[in-house]
């Protein structure tokens, strides 16, 4: 889907990208992870030609993006930034419908798409379509930014530190929302972050960068288990490598039948990770937790010993 071939970019004396080679498969949730100056945002912006490389190529489905007019290219690629960038004097509906309107969609079609996206992002269309950006919370505004990026049905969604300005609780909720959205739509997403926990919670493909180069790409578990570079190990470890491994494990995969589980045990959603199960046990000072399904019924029992083995 997205392929970087020997991409180089220099700003004055600073080499932002130094021969970047990377392939993002269709349908992946790819995360570019690294510290400041790693070249993550520069790489992202070469995809929609906000930045043109000095050398190398960026290809979408085998076609060099340099062969397409930048405005045309950008209209079929969703783009979400940290600052959100909603037009303050436009309603939510008009903000979301901006690109479809540029593409000549009929008003009825735009209105239906606005309502569809608001519902997808768990915002009641009747309550939100006519609001102004100043009437939204940070998390709501970020959802509208995502909706606007998806409005014209792009195959690719680019996200540049989209949740960096949000508080911790809202940030986590938006991460969960994006994981759900990816699962629901199957779109190819390329996201930039310097937050390791965020990368682990979202990535199906984790791409660690430093000094404008790709150090390693693979699944989060592959990079944890076999880091190809000491800088990858140092970045991903952070003193919490065990917890990060548990965050990649489904508690349900470790659970046993819960027959007559004591009422004193903590109860957590059946979709919880091993890390969330451990945190619940620590908070309750127990050695097990009960998984609860969406119907409210017990769905299994996960034990501390199983988490340690995992």
Q: Which domains does the chain have, with CATH numbers?
A: 2-244 (3.40.50.300), 250-309 (3.90.1280.20)
Rounded percentage of the chain residues whose pLDDT exceeds 90:
69
pLDDT at 167 over 90: no
Report pLDDT for 84: 66
pLDDT (tens digit per residue) in 278-289: 999 999 999 999
Query: What average pLDDT does the segment 183-205 reach?
Result: 93
Distance of alpha carbon 78 from alpha carbon 122, whole angstroms: 19
Report pLDDT for 238: 64
pTM: 0.85
Distance of alpha carbon 41 from alpha carbon 32, whole angstroms: 8
Report pLDDT for 151: 94
Taking all residues of the chain, what is their mean pLDDT, rounded to a whole number?
A: 92
Report pLDDT for 239: 59
Distance of alpha carbon 61 from alpha carbon 302, whole angstroms: 43
pLDDT (tens digit per residue) in 264-273: 899 999 888 9
| Six-digit token string for 165 | 């300005």
pLDDT at 93 over 90: yes
Report pLDDT for 56: 98
Report pLDDT for 159: 95
Report pLDDT for 268: 92
Residue written as tokens 């009929």? Answer: 106
Rounded percentage of the chain residues whose pLDDT exceeds 70:
98
Report pLDDT for 188: 97
Q: Which of 18-27, 84-93, 186-195, 255-264 has the lowest mean pLDDT?
A: 255-264
218 pLDDT band, cuts 50/70/90, is very high
């Amino acid at each position: 889907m997205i392929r970087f071939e020997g991409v180089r970019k220099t700003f004055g004396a600073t080499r932002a990208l130094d021969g970047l080679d990377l392939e993002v498969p269709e349908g992946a949730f790819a995360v570019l992870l690294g510290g400041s100056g790693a070249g993550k945002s520069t790489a992202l912006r070469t995809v929609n030609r906000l930045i043109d490389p000095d050398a190398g190529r960026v290809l979408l489905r085998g076609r060099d993006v340099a062969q397409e007019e930048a405005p045309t290219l950008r209209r079929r690629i969703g783009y979400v930034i940290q600052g959100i960038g909603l037009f303050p004097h436009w309603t939510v509906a008009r903000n979301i419908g901006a690109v479809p309107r540029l593409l000549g969609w009929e008003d009825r079609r735009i209105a239906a798409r606005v309502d569809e996206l608001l519902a997808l992002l768990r915002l009641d269309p009747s309550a939100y379509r006519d609001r102004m950006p100043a009437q939204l919370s940070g998390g709501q505004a970020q959802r509208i930014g995502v909706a606007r990026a998806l409005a014209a049905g792009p195959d690719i969604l680019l996200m540049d530190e989209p949740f960096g300005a949000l508080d911790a609780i809202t940030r986590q909720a938006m991460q969960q929302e994006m994981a759900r959205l990816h699962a629901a739509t199957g779109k190819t997403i390329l996201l930039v972050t310097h937050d390791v926990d965020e990368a682990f919670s979202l990535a199906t493909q984790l791409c660690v960068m430093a000094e404008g180069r790709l150090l390693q790409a693979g699944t989060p578990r592959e990079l944890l288990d076999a880091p190809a570079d000491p800088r990858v190990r140092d970045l991903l470890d952070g003193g919490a490598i065990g917890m990060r491994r548990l965050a990649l494990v489904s508690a349900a995969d470790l659970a046993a039948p819960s027959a007559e589980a004591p009422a004193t045990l903590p109860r957590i959603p059946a979709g919880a990770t091993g890390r969330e199960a451990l945190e619940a046990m620590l908070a309750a000072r127990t050695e097990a937790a009960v998984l609860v399904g969406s119907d409210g019924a017990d769905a299994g029992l996960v034990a501390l010993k199983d988490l340690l083995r995992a």
